[in-house]
Amino acid sequence: MNRSGIFIVFFIFIAISILFDWYVFSGLKTITNTWQNNTYRLLVNWGYFVLSLGIIALFLFALSGFNASKGVSNFQSWILSLFLGLLITKIVIILILFLGDIGQFIYNLINKLRAGNESPSNPILSGRRKFISEIAFMVAAIPLAGTIYAMLKGKYDYKVHRQTIYYDDLPAAFDGFTITQLSDIHSGSFDNTTAMQRGIDLAKAQKSDLFVFTGDLVNNFAWEITPYINRFSQIKAPFGQFSVLGNHDYGDYAEWRNESEKAANLEKLKQHHKSLDYRLLLDENITLEKNGQKISLIGVQNWGKGFKQVGNLSKALNGVDANAFKILLSHDPTHWEEKVKTHPVKVHLTLSGHTHGAQFGIEIPGFKWSPVKYRYPDWAGLAHENGRYLYINRGFGFLGFSGRLGIWPEITVITLKKA
């Protein structure tokens, strides 16, 4: 979608938000009309409009300053997130009010048909509307509070996810071998370096044998990682640090003066991988050896259903023994769905990211849900089919919505075990 198309979409959202205000305000007035103190009533009623219209005004201001050649600033991301959070809050209020009003309309209609004429006003119904309005605002406080928490705390609430995977054909020397995985750093989105460093320290503390990064180091521009190179380069592992590119790393979502400038940005990003001491695997493989036994580590460029498809698995497997134990780094999990799990050459474990788990959802023992599940059949954690495993990291950073709720940023630790 081009710049003008994006603006049109956002202006539609703004118009919808303003229309919602009218209905929300009717519910608010239902609550405050019975208050004795006129000052409090005016403060609450007008305070709502100041808050709502103020955020809309800030959103328009942020939108006017958007430049696709520079990317989304932290200020713009924050305002967009607040606008969307308030919009969701309004939707919750409206749904509850609407259900209540529909119920009251049906009740009035039935009474009118029974009486044969208009029923007299009923104070009980007026009280019921006030009660429903109070319920609506109380329930709507949950998504509003969740949005604020997600933006202030949730996006840096790093969690370690540990997964042990058993294989019959794992070389004995690699029994107990550990891998720390990060994915989707999206360095252009960070707005709290101190909080972000806690995630790096947590990754370092795992002291795994191998460290891998599975793509989307930046949002669009190579310079976004520059302030953090000295921080992420702190992560070391005895068997090395390896990485691949994600769809955002190619700069496809930014405006460039020409293709040469875009290509130069990608080359600069590749240099930054070297500065991080990451061995960037571009449709290639390397061999890891321990006590005379070997496994193959393979990395492909991005290949995703509906996204950039430049990765070449067959090329990456060139020279790999068909009987070798293989670990593949591939940013988008649809690569596993579409290509890897049915490839003639068996890849034992694929490590991916990309989905972020939508940065929103519910994860409790025995239950996992996120709206991203309607786009990706496998969107977080472990999947397997015919002895081929896929692990999807929930992402270290965030993008678009400047927050996370329920799907927290992840450091993955995988332990390989011989069955």
What is the DSSP secondary-structure string of 351-400?
EE--SGGGGB-EEETTEEE-GGGGT-SS-SEEEEETTEEEEE---SS--S
Residue type at 99? L
Q: How far apart are CA 257 and CA 192, in angstroms?
A: 31
Residue pair 44/50 in contact (Cβ under 8 Å)? The answer is no
First vs last C-alpha separation in the chain:
49
Q: How far apart are CA 38 and CA 56, in angstroms?
A: 27
Distances (CA, A) of 366 to 175, 362, 363: 28, 11, 8
- The mean pLDDT value of the chain amounts to 93
Q: Is the pLDDT score of 28 beyond 60?
A: yes
Q: Which two tokens stand for residue 17?
A: 């938000």
In 3D, which of 205, 227, 207 has the Cα closest to residue 218?
A: 227
Q: How far apart are CA 7 and CA 10, in angstroms?
A: 5
Q: Is the pLDDT score of 117 beyond 70?
A: no
Residue pair 136/161 in contact (Cβ under 8 Å)? The answer is no
Question: What average pLDDT does the segment 80-85 reach?
Answer: 93
In 3D, which of 351, 349, 357 has the Cα closest to residue 331?
A: 351
Confidence grade of residue 380 (pLDDT, cut at 50, 70, 90): very high
Confidence grade of residue 5 (pLDDT, cut at 50, 70, 90): low
φ, ψ dihedrals at 234, nearest 5°: -70, -20
- CATH superfamily entry for domain 159-418: Metallo-dependent phosphatases (3.60.21.10)
Q: Which two tokens stand for residue 205?
A: 């503390």
Query: What's the confidence (pLDDT) of residue 11?
Result: 85
Q: Is the pLDDT score of 217 beyond 90?
A: yes
φ, ψ dihedrals at 376, nearest 5°: -125, 120
Q: How far apart are CA 112 and CA 119, in angstroms?
A: 6
Residue type at 176? G
Confidence grade of residue 133 (pLDDT, cut at 50, 70, 90): very high
Residue pair 295/286 in contact (Cβ under 8 Å)? The answer is no
Residues 6+ positions from 147 with CB-CB distance below 8 Å: 81, 82, 84, 85, 86, 88, 89, 403, 405
Over its C-alpha atoms, the chain yields an Rg (Å, rounded) of 26
pLDDT in tens, 286-311: 999 999 999 999 999 999 999 999 99
Q: How far apart are CA 132 and CA 95, in angstroms?
A: 11
Q: pLDDT above 90 covers what percent of the chain?
A: 80
Confidence grade of residue 69 (pLDDT, cut at 50, 70, 90): confident
Neighbours of 2 (CB within 10 A): 9
Q: Is the pLDDT score of 1 beyond 80?
A: no
* Cα 367–chain centre separation: 19
Alpha helices in 163-311 (DSSP H): 193-205, 229-232, 259-275
Q: How far apart are CA 20 and CA 25, in angstroms?
A: 8
Q: How far apart are CA 307 and CA 235, in angstroms?
A: 29
In 3D, which of 190, 340, 290, 312 has the Cα closest to residue 245?
A: 312
Residue type at 413? V
* Cα 110–chain centre separation: 48
Domain boundary assignment for the chain: 3-152, 159-418
Residues 6+ positions from 305 with CB-CB distance below 8 Å: 332, 334, 337, 338
User: DSSP secondary-structure letter at 86?
Assistant: H
Question: What average pLDDT does the segment 133-147 reach?
Answer: 95
* Cα 32–chain centre separation: 38
